[in-house]
């Protein structure tokens, strides 16, 4: 019988932190109740029942009824004390767990190997990063959060013990079984992270387990298959391998798992496993390290142990060595018989048995098995895969990304207008998420080839090559190295091009590199998960900073702790709503409104994007290009954005000139364009006409005068079916307008009458005029100017005039079935007739883009002229243009920008800030930015297809209703 002082010391063992025991859910106030429960149960048990408590048997929730019956028999007849669940699924495990618990006289202690979460064993559960990835993270609070979340999952599934954290110090790069499961090779770093993980998990109410004692980190063989040997002397083992255990024990470690290792320095008998060594278990772990928690064997069926002796013998030897829980015995009934016989023969004392059994019962009390309740099945899947998990997972991978080499500051990638970037994928797993994310930032081409010469030939036009090594992310034990072929290719490509090598597997893969001299950038991503690929792509372009450090040595190149910090460049990044104080659940309403619009044929399709605080947190596509439902809308598809052209093309070029002092808002038309001298528009200022407060007519239907008066079709006086010098302006497929007609348009505008009364009147005409001015000022076409000054450096590679010259029509969404001017499907040509008559390049219309690119430009505005490490204009310039100068005259407009309504009706939901700005387009497009809530909203549609006559989208306020719901999603 144990003395009370011994029980109290056992209670103390389960304290996560003695200084904060009052906050620990594992510590109860009524120790007397604990002792009474333990003593009462123990005293009521027969010898065989007590011995049965020592055994934790393996259970699979994906096996058949025969397996289930075998476990049930062990519970009923052999009174086993616990279960360790292995492969299966969460609902199946929960049901089986409830069933098996109901059979047991004493509630069963349930354990699992869930080192990186339940997904280590179960389908449909959450996978956190492996320990090697966590080892790259400097912020220990994130590791503690990880332990806490994994603990929550375990507790929800009725798991009381998680056999984690692994505290092995992986000093052998060729370790076949630990590797990625270790936090690294630095003793102190491993200890700090293991401690943080342990504390987080135990705060969640789940007992931790440090493994594999006395240290499995420097082995080159797998104890599942053989008995590995640790060759170090006792001093080294004490100062390195045992150090994490010593520190975790001080902080309330619940349990330890003893490995099957040959440790000559600690056990004199040759080839004698540590798991059955009394010197290692009792003398070192229990006595020297003063550990009083539960001691588990590693699985007794592993070859490192089972090769040593017969079933039953190994269990007896393990118990005699000092272990409390015999894990996954090969023959429970036989083992119970042998231990029972040993006790009856006084080979083992009853006090020794009581010590282990009462520790086991005390653990059961700590996890609430004194008041056992079945697992609730309802909502189980949702509880094991939460938004909180996704948010933390993103944060972990962001913080792990490690830049090891950054020659000439190649990272993050800047000056995109000077970069021609290619991506080459190595490895046997997909790099699609990485490549997809790269393309969000700029034009990146994927290069493939069977032979090196073919690849080098295809790379001839590129100056920067991103190489990704992608290996399977299924388990930590998968192959991770470069092939010989890949190494040859890497050296040759790096000899000719600037190379950024990005490794999506364990750091040891870099050990194979004979030289890194010609590689400009080396980035460790550690895993090939989708999130790891996305976050790494974002870091390459400065969406997020790199903060990680390598947890292990890499050849002679890098040592533990090495890692270069790179700064974020204030470009868009991508994540989930909760990361910026918004609700994913609230966005379900946004989703339903967009679906409603498509279902009710207000538009064939929609691209929808929302960003906050520089992060895109909702990006989704709806519907198809047309109502024939053949071509689904994709993120890379281009929409005719119509009047958004005003703020996406003309306005930034004007802001640039104002910023340089070349013009001002008070510049008049006669000052900008000499031909306006003496005209009725000579004194109209930039400020007044871009505020739509200059008496200019809303628009002029220039195309009508070019139609045949009888047929109503394009007149032969103005159009030809084939191109020539005189008919050079392509308004649609096989339809060319007279080359001199744009000059006629400018003359018509100049000579046009003004409206009789000064009042707010929206007009396209200022942008015809300003196109002429900008092209004359620079001596370049507006389409070339905007690309050179803004789009190239912004990485807006899906934004262009005349997209059919660059993109396939399968990527361009059609705008209308034109039956009044061009008499054909308008696809790849601007919908606006006046812009079409200027060769597709209008100051007021003509831009095609996708939601992601529009968001980049709006984010640049939101950041007051700064994006991607480049300042396009000063903040004061943005403020000049984002000001309502005529609000007192009931004119809400800024300079070029639309602004929120002054009354009840207007262009927004009425819930945006007064400093917000944006624009809408005739084709159904809309974008808005709000500096106060840091929101960018982009809605692209082709509501004009097949006909522009009906505008249900506007009548039902779909765009502004979505905007209202976006603001309702803010949860801060």
pLDDT tens readout for residues 863-887: 999 999 999 999 999 999 999 999 9
> Which pLDDT does position 220 carry in this prediction?
75
Is pLDDT at 24 greater than 60 in this prediction? no
Look at residue 146 and tell me whether its pLDDT is greater than 60: yes
Tokens representing residue 499 in the block: 């190379």
Look at residues 65, 119, 67, 59 and name the one whose alpha carbon lies nearest to residue 93: 59
Nearest C-alpha neighbor of 256 from the set 320, 163, 366: 163
Average pLDDT over residues 183-188: 97
For 311-366, the pLDDT digits (tens) are 789 999 999 999 999 999 999 999 999 999 999 999 999 999 999 999 999 999 99
> Got the DSSP string for 102-163?
HH-SSPPEEEE--BTBGGGTBTTS--PPPHHHHTT---HHHHHHHHHHHHHHHHHTT--EE-
> For the chain, how many residues are written?
972
Bridge-partner residues for 466, per DSSP? 423, 500
Average pLDDT value for residue range 733-754? 97
In the prediction, which pLDDT does 4 show?
A: 31
**Across residues 659-672, what is the average pLDDT?**
98
Question: Taking Cα atoms as reference points, which of 531, 536, 540, 535 lies closest to residue 442?
Answer: 540
User: How much of the chain is helix, strand and coil, in % rounded to 5?
Assistant: 40, 15, 45
Rounded Cα–Cα distance for residues 521 and 410 (Å): 7
The confidence band for 175, taking pLDDT boundaries of 50, 70 and 90, is confident
Q: Would you state the pLDDT for residue 7?
A: 33
Give all strands (DSSP E) within 613-766, no chain letters: 615-623, 639-640, 719-720, 729-732, 735-737
The answer to whether residue 12 scores a pLDDT higher than 60 is: no
Q: Is the pLDDT of residue 227 over 90?
A: no
pLDDT at 29: 53
- From the centroid of its chain, how far is CA 659? 37
DSSP assignment letter at 477: T
Chain centroid offset of residue 421 CA: 23
Of 14-28, 162-176, 617-631, 770-784, the range with the lowest mean pLDDT is 14-28
User: pLDDT confidence of 303, banded at 50, 70, 90?
Assistant: confident
Which among 680, 711, 707 has a CA at the least distance from the CA of 833?
707
Determine contact, residues 608/565, Cβ cutoff 8 Å: no
Q: What percent of the chain has a predicted confidence (pLDDT) above 90?
A: 92
Roughly how many angstroms between the first and final C-alpha of the chain, as a whole number?
Answer: 57
So what's the pLDDT on residue 308? 64
Residues in CB range of 598: below 8 A, 6 or more apart: 604, 605, 606, 622, 623
Please, how many CA atoms are within 13 Å of residue 269, restricted to the half-sphere of its CB? 11
Sheet holding 615-623, edge to edge: 573-574, 615-623, 605-612, 935-941, 926-930, 917-920
Prior bond of 941 cis (ω within 30°): no
Distance from C-alpha of 532 to C-alpha of 473, rounded to nearest angstrom: 10
Please report the pLDDT score of residue 678 as a whole number.
96
**How far is residue 717's CA from residue 332's CA, in Å, rounded to a whole number?**
99
**Residues 396-447 pLDDT 10s:** 999 999 999 999 999 999 999 999 999 999 999 999 999 999 999 999 999 9
pLDDT single digits (tens) 253-295 = 999 999 999 999 999 998 899 999 999 999 999 999 999 999 9
Residue-level pLDDT at 27: 46
Q: How many CB atoms lie within 10 A of CB 837?
A: 23
Average pLDDT, the chain: 95
The answer to whether residue 15 scores a pLDDT higher than 80 is no
Q: Are 219 and 265 in contact (CB under 8 A)?
A: no
Tens digit of pLDDT for each residue in 887-897? Answer: 999 999 999 99
Give the list of residues 6+ apart from residue 322 with CB closer than 8 angstroms, or none.
Answer: 278, 281, 282, 285, 286, 295
pLDDT tens profile 544-556: 999 999 999 998 9
Helices 332-344, 313-321: crossing angle, 10 deg rounding: 50
- pLDDT, position 259: 95
Q: How far are the Cα atoms of 620, 763, 776 from residue 646, in angstroms, in the given order?
A: 25, 11, 18
């Amino acid at each position: 019988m144990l003395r009370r002082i011994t029980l109290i010391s056992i209670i103390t063992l389960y304290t996560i932190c003695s200084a904060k025991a009052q906050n620990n859910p594992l510590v109860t106030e009524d120790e007397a109740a604990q002792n009474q429960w333990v003593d009462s149960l123990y005293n009521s048990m027969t010898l065989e029942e007590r011995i049965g408590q020592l055994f934790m048997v393996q259970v699979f929730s994906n096996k058949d009824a025969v397996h289930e019956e075998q476990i049930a028999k062990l519970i009923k007849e052999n009174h086993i004390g616990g279960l360790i669940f292995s492969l299966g699924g969460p609902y199946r495990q929960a049901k089986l767990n409830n069933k098996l618990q109901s059979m047991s006289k004493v509630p069963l202690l349930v354990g699992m190997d869930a080192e990186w979460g339940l997904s280590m064993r179960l389908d449909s559960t959450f996978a956190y990063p492996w320990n090697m990835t966590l080892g790259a993270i400097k912020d220990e609070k994130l590791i503690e959060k990880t332990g806490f979340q994994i603990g929550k999952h375990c507790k929800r599934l009725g798991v009381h013990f998680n056999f984690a954290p692994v505290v092995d110090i992986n000093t052998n790069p060729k370790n076949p079984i630990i590797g990625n499961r270790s936090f690294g090779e630095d003793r102190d770093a491993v200890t700090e992270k293991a401690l943080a993980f342990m504390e987080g998990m135990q705060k969640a109410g789940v007992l931790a387990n440090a493994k594999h004692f006395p240290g499995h980190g420097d082995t080159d063989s797998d104890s599942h298959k053989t008995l590995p040997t640790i060759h170090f002397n006792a001093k080294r083992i004490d100062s390195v391998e045992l150090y994490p255990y010593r520190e975790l024990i001080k902080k309330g470690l619940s349990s330890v798992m003893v490995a099957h290792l040959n440790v000559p320095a600690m056990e004199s008998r040759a080839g004698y496993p540590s798991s059955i060594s009394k010197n290692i278990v009792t003398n070192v772990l229990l006595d020297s390290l003063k550990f009083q928690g539960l001691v588990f064997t590693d699985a007794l069926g592993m070859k490192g142990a089972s090769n040593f002796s017969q079933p039953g013998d190994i269990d007896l030897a393990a118990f005699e060595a000092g272990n409390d829980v015999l894990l996954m015995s090969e023959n429970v009934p036989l083992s119970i018989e042998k231990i029972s016989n040993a006790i009856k023969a006084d080979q083992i004392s009853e006090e020794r048995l009581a010590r282990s059994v009462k520790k086991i019962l005390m653990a059961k009390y700590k996890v609430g098995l004194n008041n056992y309740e079945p697992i609730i099945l309802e909502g189980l899947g949702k509880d094991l895969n939460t938004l909180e998990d996704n948010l933390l997972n993103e944060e972990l991978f962001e913080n792990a990304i490690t830049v090891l080499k950054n020659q000439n500051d190649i990272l993050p990638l800047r000056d995109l207008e000077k970069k021609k970037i290619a991506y080459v994928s190595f490895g046997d797993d997909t790099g699609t998420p990485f490549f997809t994310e790269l393309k969000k930032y700029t034009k990146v081409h994927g290069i493939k080839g069977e032979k090196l010469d073919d690849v080098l030939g295809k790379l001839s036009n590129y100056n920067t090559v991103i190489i990704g090594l992608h290996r399977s992310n299924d388990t930590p034990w998968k192959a991770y190295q470069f092939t010989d072929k890949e190494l040859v290719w890497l050296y040759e490509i790096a000899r000719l091009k600037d190379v950024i090598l990005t490794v999506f597997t364990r750091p040891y893969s870099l050990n194979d590199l004979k030289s890194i001299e010609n590689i400009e950038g080396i980035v460790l991503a550690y895993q090939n998960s989708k999130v790891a690929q996305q976050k790494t792509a974002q870091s390459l372009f400065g969406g997020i900073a790199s903060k990680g450090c390598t947890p292990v040595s890499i050849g002679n190149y890098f040592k533990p702790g090495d890692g270069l910090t790179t700064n974020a460049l204030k470009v868009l990044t991508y994540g989930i709503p909760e990361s910026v104080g918004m609700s994913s659940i609230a966005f379900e309403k946004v989703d339903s409104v967009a679906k409603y619009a498509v279902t009710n044929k207000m538009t064939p399709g929609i691209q929808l994007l929302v960003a906050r605080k520089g992060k895109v947190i909702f990006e989704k596509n709806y519907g198809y290009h047309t109502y024939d439902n053949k071509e689904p809308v994709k993120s890379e598809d281009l929409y005719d954005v119509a009047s958004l052209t005003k703020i996406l093309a003309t306005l930034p070029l004007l802001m640039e000139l104002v910023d340089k002092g070349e013009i001002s808002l008070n510049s008049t038309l006669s000052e900008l364009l000499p031909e306006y001298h003496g005209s009725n528009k000579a004194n109209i200022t930039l400020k007044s006409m871009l505020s739509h407060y200059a008496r200019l007519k809303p628009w002029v239907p220039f195309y009508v005068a070019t139609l045949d008066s009888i047929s109503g079709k394009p007149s032969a006086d103005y159009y030809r079916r084939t191109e020539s010098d005189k008919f050079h302006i392509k308004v649609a497929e096989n339809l060319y307008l007279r080359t001199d007609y744009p000059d006629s348009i400018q003359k018509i505008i100049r000579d046009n009458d003004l409206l009789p009364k000064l009042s707010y009147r929206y007009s396209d005409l200022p942008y015809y005029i300003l196109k002429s001015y900008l092209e004359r000022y620079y001596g370049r076409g507006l389409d070339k100017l905007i690309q050179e000054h803004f789009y190239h450096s912004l990485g807006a590679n899906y934004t262009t005039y005349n997209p059919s010259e660059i993109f396939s029509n399968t990527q361009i969404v059609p705008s209308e079935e034109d039956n009044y001017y061009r008499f054909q499907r308008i696809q790849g040509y601007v919908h606006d007739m006046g812009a079409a008559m200027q060769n597709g390049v209008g100051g007021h219309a003509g831009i095609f883009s996708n939601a992601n690119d529009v968001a980049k430009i709006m984010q640049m505005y939101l950041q007051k002229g700064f994006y991607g490490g480049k300042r396009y204009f000063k903040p004061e310039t943005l403020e000049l243009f984002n000001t309502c100068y005529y609000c007192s005259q009931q004119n809400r407009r800024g300079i070029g920008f639309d602004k929120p309504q002054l009354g009840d009706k207007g262009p927004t939901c009425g819930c945006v800030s007064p400093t917000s700005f944006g624009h809408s387009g005739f084709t159904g497009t809309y974008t808005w930015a709000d500096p106060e809530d840091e929101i960018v909203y982009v809605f692209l549609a082709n509501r004009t297809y097949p006909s522009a006559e009906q505008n249900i989208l506007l009548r039902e306020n779909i765009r502004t209703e979505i905007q209202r719901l976006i603001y309702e999603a803010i949860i801060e």
